[in-house]
Amino acid sequence: MSLDVCLVQHEKDALDHVATEAAISSFSKVMKAVRILKYGGPEVLQIENVPIPSPAENEVLIRVHSSGINPVDTYMREGKHALSPTLPSILGRDVAGVVEEVGNNVTKFKKGDRVFAGLPNNGGYAEYATSEEKNIYPLSEKLTFNQGAAIYIPYFTAYRALVTKCRAKAGENVLIHGASGAVGNAAIQIAKKLGAANCGWYCWHHGGDGVGQEFGV
């Protein structure tokens, strides 16, 4: 084999190697996500390969272990919510997982930290998601990722209602309507923690009969 042929073959092998490395690199930056391409019922949810998002300077990239599902996700999926996203879109506003990467201005978290987070702009139905540092909190080792993914919207909503708006205090009586849902369950726990004298809840089960119970504190 002549020197020219050897050089050409070597150059081809080098280019093939670069192309292979680029393909591997490109593949490593792809994640699976559940997206909607149109509004509708559950059938519009599709699993697709999409690029892994990069965190901005004040954001954290989370490797999602669990994603919470809230009623608002259903409304957005159907296009019936005032904040329904533009399409295509990845839904999901509650996640729990492990920090994968942090932006330059992030100071409270580092790679490997267990966290739960709220995603104001959606994106939780995926293997990775980004959120601003202010929307992310440490996840206790005592809690599973599934439990962590059920904290942000339910518990923060209940806290806002009871503490921020109602200014509930120890010794007061609290009645919680619709306590069978996530927000209602969170409200019961928060009310008891605040020291409510009596915390009663009321909800409807599938049979249509009202069910109530009172918790003494």
Domain map of the chain by residue range?
30-150, 168-216
Alpha carbon distance 31, 46 (integer Å)? 13
181: pLDDT strictly greater than 70? yes
How far is C-alpha 191 from the geometric centre of its chain's CA atoms?
25
Q: Are 119 and 93 in contact (CB under 8 A)?
A: yes
Reference 61, options 16, 119, 8; nearest CA is 119
- Let me know if domain 30-150 sits in CATH 3.90.180.10: yes
Range of weakest confidence among 6-20, 76-90, 168-182: 6-20
Let me know if 45 is exposed, middle or buried by CB neighbors in 10 A (0-12, 13-18, 19+).
middle
Alpha carbon distance 13, 17 (integer Å)? 6
Over pLDDT 70: what percentage of the chain? 79
- State pTM to two decimals: 0.77
Query: What local confidence, expressed as pLDDT, does residue 1 receive?
Result: 53
Q: Where are the beta strands (DSSP E) in 139-209?
A: 173-177, 198-204
Alpha carbon distance 124, 110 (integer Å)? 20
